Amino acid sequence: MFRNRFVSVLALVAFAGVLVTAGCVSAATRPPAAAATASTRTVAATGGTANLMIYSINTDGAYWHAIVSGVIGDYGPAVSIYPDGQVDPAHTSQMVLRLTHGSFRLSIAALDKAFVKAGAHAPIYPKTCTDLISVTGTTPIVAGSGTGAYHGITGNFPVTLTLNEVEATPCQPNPGAFRAQLITVAGSGTISARSLRHSPASAHITGPRGTTQP
């Protein structure tokens, strides 16, 4: 090992002048590697696949929870709202994701219509007074709704909306008439944003869950 190092040193001394000359020419002609790498990282940080899950446990109300992984790593409350920002307990229009590093809205109107149509046949299993309802659809990001780290965000999430519940007895397929219920909205979509950044998993939620600002 030491002999190899000695030979390498001799070679370096012998060609020192050549290397200096070549280095000057090379530095003048090749693009800076650091700049190219920084440019690549900037492009990569502006978009990609985000995996969305929104869920509610034992509630038909407007307040849910959201987790996003992939090109976004964030979490926080999700609230059903009207376009003017007021809370929409019937989930007929939009849903705002108030994540720890910013917020954005999803259009859920078409998904809600599909779910209401499928739920018209409840109870799905009348003998056990239980339901399993699942519909698919696309939830576009509402243009111009991004704030904070999600300013300028665009894209959409193809999702599956699933309800699994045990209804109250006697069977009453009405809002709130259940013994146990889980609703999930999950899917992956391609998104982009001018200021999109990976969010640290250790961030803390700020602000009360019940606030109504968009």
Number of domains in the chain: 2
Query: Does the pLDDT value for residue 30 go beyond 60?
Result: no
Worst-scoring range by mean pLDDT, 38-42, 81-85, 155-159, 173-177?
Answer: 38-42
Worst-scoring range by mean pLDDT, 15-24, 46-55, 110-119?
Answer: 15-24
Same domain, 68 and 170: yes
Same domain, 54 and 20: no
Q: Is residue 212 part of a domain?
A: no
Worst-scoring range by mean pLDDT, 26-30, 97-101, 146-150?
Answer: 26-30
- Residue 189 one-letter amino acid: G
Q: Is residue 205 part of a domain?
A: no
The band of 169, judged by pLDDT with boundaries at 50, 70 and 90, is confident
Same domain, 24 and 53: no
| pLDDT given at position 10 | 37
Same domain, 80 and 128: yes
| pLDDT given at position 173 | 65
Q: Is residue 170 part of a domain?
A: yes
CA distance 90 to 108: 11
| pLDDT given at position 4 | 44
The band of 194, judged by pLDDT with boundaries at 50, 70 and 90, is confident
Q: Is residue 148 part of a domain?
A: yes
More confident of the two residues 59 and 23: 59
Contacts of 119 (CB under 8 A, 6+ apart): 131, 133, 163, 173
Find the mean pLDDT for residues 122-151. 95
Q: Which domain holds residue 22?
A: 2-30
CA distance 3 to 8: 9
Same domain, 134 and 181: yes
**Average pLDDT across the chain, whole number:** 78
In this predicted model, what pLDDT tens digit does every residue of 173-183 receive, in sequence order?
A: 676 789 999 99
Number of Cβ within a 10 Å radius of residue 185: 24
In this predicted model, what pLDDT tens digit does every residue of 62-103 receive, in sequence order?
A: 999 999 999 999 999 999 999 999 999 999 999 999 999 999
| pLDDT given at position 37 | 39
Using alpha carbons only, what angle is made at residue 75 by residues 207 and 166, rounded to the nearest 5 degrees?
100
